[in-house]
Amino acid sequence: MHRFSVSRELCPLNGWHRVAILVVEPLVLPHGFSTERQVTMDLTGELLIAMPGIGDHRFEYSLVLLCSHDDSGAMGLIVNKAADGVGLSNLLDQLEISITSEQAATLPVRFGGPVETQRGFVLHSPEYQSAVNTLPVSDHFAMTATVDILEDIAVGRGPSQVLVMLGYAGWGPGQLEAEIAMNGWLNVPATSELVFDLPDSQKWEAALRALGVDPLTLSASAGHA
**Could you report the per-residue pLDDT of 179-224, keeping only the tens digit for each?**
999 989 999 999 999 999 999 999 999 999 999 998 888 754 444 4
DSSP per position, 53-87: T-S-GGGTT-EEEEEEEETTEEEEEESS-EEEEEE
- CA dist 77 and 67 (Å) reads 7
What's the CA gap between 150 and 88, in Å, rounded?
9
Distance CA 125, CA 141 (A): 5
Grouping H, G, I as helix, E, B as strand and the rest as coil, residue 116 is strand
Helices (H) then strands (E): counts for the chain: 6, 12
Cα–Cα distance for residue pair 60/154, rounded to 1 Å: 32
Judged by DSSP in three states, 1 sits in coil
SS3 call for 106: helix
Question: Which domains, from first to last, does the chain contain?
Answer: 10-203 (3.40.1740.10)
Q: How many CA atoms lie within 13 A of 121 on its CB side?
A: 28
Most confident of 15-19, 27-31, 75-79: 75-79
Res. 2: pLDDT tops 60: no
Residue 85 has a pLDDT of 85
Instruction: Report which DSSP code applies to 86.
Output: E
Q: SS3 for 12?
A: strand
- Tell whether pTM > 0.85: no
pLDDT tens per residue across span 135-186: 999 999 999 999 999 999 999 999 999 999 999 999 999 999 999 999 899 9
